[in-house]
Amino acid sequence: MPAYIGGVIFPVSGTPPMAQSSSPETLSSPSIDPAEVEKFSRMAAEWWDPKSKFAPLHKFNPARLTWIRERLSAHFAREGREPLAGLELLDIGCGGGLVSEPMARLGGRVTGVDAAEPNIKTALVHAREAGLEIDYRHGTAEQLLEAEGPGRFDVVLNLEVVEHVADPAQFLADCAALVKPGGIMIVGTINRTSRAFVTAIFGAEYVLGWLPRGTHRFGKLVKPEEVEAALKTAGLAPETPVGVSYNPLKDSFFISTDAGVNYLMAATK
């Protein structure tokens, strides 16, 4: 379920085709012209509608968000309604803010970065409508690292991104450099297995139509051991991945020990 695809954003993580764009030359914080508010408000309404074209993402998100909250709460020894209070969090490839906003509601000071400016403007409008302050930027992890320097964030969420970038190891290294000492990064992606090809590519793209055909290329998928190796080289300590599995009878996703298709991995610095 991609969001940030090597500088191009694709649906279901979930960008409409109109929001695709190449990476900007520099990191920026877009402003919203009053004349644009209605347009991006309509786009935000579609993003956040669980019955829209983004329905698969809304099915996928609850299990993922629950696990992320639990893992971050454990790492920082936090409890309560806002376990992320005071923590700096980066959502790289944030799309329309479907992860950024829940993190902000948990108390995090969230920065959302996406390579497609329409996504950022959509997320910005929706956050304002929801009364949330989120620092949305148009750009890439590399540009953010150049602008902010290393060790900027307590938490870096790197979700459904690495399988689409040109150089996964370098991308992971850039994201790892943004993590503060004592911080944590969470990577979510698709395993390079025959079962993932059948379900996440053939099934999701060609049978169910959850994703546009050609969204994923099997050779670009990344195995957990490859993510682990890159993170270790970048100075992080990766943990055993967990799976995000689909139950067709309940039409829902759940966290499991099966990392053969979708998986999440935490890594600490």
For residues 216-223, average pLDDT: 73
Residue 13: pLDDT over 60: no
Does 195 count as an annotated binding residue? Answer: no
Residue 183: pLDDT over 90: yes
Distances (CA, A) of 67 to 4, 119, 256, 263: 21, 25, 10, 11
Return the higher-pLDDT residue of 66 and 166. Answer: 66
3-state DSSP of 218-243:
HHHCCCHHHHHHHHHHCCCEECCCEE
At residue 197, the pLDDT reads 57
pLDDT > 70: what percent of the chain?
Answer: 83
Q: Which residues does 34 contact at the CB level (< 8 Å), separation at least 6? A: none
Does 154 count as an annotated binding residue? Answer: no
Distances (CA, A) of 83 to 70, 72, 242: 9, 8, 22
* CA quadruple 69, 150, 123, 56: dihedral sign: negative
Return the higher-pLDDT residue of 94 and 216. Answer: 94
Q: Count Cβ neighbours within 10 Å for each residue of 195-210 and write b for 16 or more, e otherwise.
A: ebbebbbebbbeeeeb
Domains, in order of start, for the chain:
4-20+33-268 (3.40.50.150)
Total Cβ atoms within 10 A of residue 245: 19
Does 159 count as an annotated binding residue? Answer: yes
Residue 259: pLDDT over 50: yes
Cα 73 from Cα 48, distance rounded (Å):
26
Q: Count Cβ neighbours within 10 Å for each residue of 67-96 and write b for 16 or more, e otherwise.
A: bbbebbeebbebeeeebbeebbbbbbbbbb
**Could you tell me what percentage of the chain is helix, strand and coil, using 3-state DSSP and rounding each to the nearest 5?**
40, 20, 40
Of 94, 12, 95, nearest to 55 by C-alpha is 12
At residue 12, the pLDDT reads 34
Does 167 count as an annotated binding residue? Answer: no
Return the higher-pLDDT residue of 135 and 215. Answer: 135
Q: Could you tell me the pTM of the whole model?
A: 0.85
* Pairing label, strands 153-159, 88-92: parallel
Distances (CA, A) of 175 to 71, 103, 211, 247: 19, 18, 26, 32
| pLDDT bucket at 217, cuts 50 / 70 / 90 | low
